[in-house]
């Protein structure tokens, strides 16, 4: 049996609402994209997806790199990977709402990206960065404990898919307003 692959983005979604994983991988639904998602896509296409690489002194930034680590069942399309004096870390660009500190669902996406880079470059990624719009940059340390938390979530996500169990809806009803799966879900 092939290992179910998850993307770093799936972990972000799982931490937004675990039911999304059920719709994505059990129902395999491709819902219509919301207005907010389309705006985000436009921003990425215009500001990031056209770039390939930039270099300055000891720092190289690789843009739009897709990496899949089959043995881990993990993959990610990286907005940017910074390579600086032999160390690597991911940068994720976000549109829409900004936060005073990195929220957990964005943090988990970065940690999964860090694990993928660890394996791909045979390194130990110790931090990540999120940019909200063009103004705000938030950096976070990434520890071994963080990476182990991803393994635990990976198991929980696999169980949803293999057992075909629909999780309860998120406790935060406000999240449903922006959710692309609302029409199939309706918190039923
Ligand atoms: S509509 Fe709400 S409960 Fe349903 S998948 Fe979306 S966020 Fe989760």
Is position 14 within any domain?
yes
Q: Which of 15, 32, 169, 172 to mutate to test the pocket of ligand 1 (most atoms within 8 A of CB)?
A: 169
Q: Kindly indicate the confidence band of residue 2, based on its pLDDT and cuts at 50, 70 and 90.
A: low
Q: Report whether 90 contacts 108 (CB < 8 A).
A: no
Share of the chain above pLDDT 90, in %: 76
CB within 8 Å of 188: residues ≥ 6 apart: none
Tokens (6 digits) for 153: 């979530």
Give domain status of residue 37, yes or no.
yes
**Residue ranges around ligand 1 (CB below 6 Å):** 17, 19-20, 169-170, 175-176, 179, 181-182, 185, 187
Who's near 152: CB < 8 A, 6+ residues apart?
none
What range does the domain containing 161 cover? 6-185
CA 163 to ligand 1 center in whole angstroms? 19
Q: Which of 33, 36, 178, 181 to mutate to test the pocket of ligand 1 (most atoms within 8 A of CB)?
A: 181
Residue 1 lies in a domain: no
The domain total for the chain is: 1
Using one digit for the tens of pLDDT, what is the confidence trace for 86-136?
999 999 999 877 889 999 999 999 999 999 999 999 999 999 999 998 779
């Amino acid at each position: 049996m092939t290992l179910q692959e998850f993307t770093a983005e799936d972990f972000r979604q799982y931490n937004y609402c675990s039911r999304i994983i059920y719709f994505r991988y059990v129902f395999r639904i491709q819902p219509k994209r919301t207005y907010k998602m389309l705006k985000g896509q436009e921003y990425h296409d215009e500001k990031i997806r056209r770039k390939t690489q930039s270099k300055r002194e000891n720092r190289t930034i690789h843009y739009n790199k897709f990496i899949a680590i089959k043995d881990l069942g993990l993959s990610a399309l990286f907005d940017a990977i910074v390579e600086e004096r032999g160390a690597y870390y991911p940068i994720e660009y976000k549109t829409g709402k900004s936060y005073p500190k990195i929220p957990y669902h964005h943090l988990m996406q970065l940690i999964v990206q860090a694990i993928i880079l660890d394996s791909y470059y045979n390194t130990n990624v110790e931090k990540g960065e999120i940019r909200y719009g063009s103004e705000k940059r938030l950096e976070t340390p990434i520890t071994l404990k963080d990476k182990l938390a991803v393994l635990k979530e990976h198991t929980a996500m696999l169980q949803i898919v293999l057992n075909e169990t629909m999780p309860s809806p998120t406790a935060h009803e406000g999240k449903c307003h922006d959710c692309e799966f609302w029409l199939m879900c309706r918190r039923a």
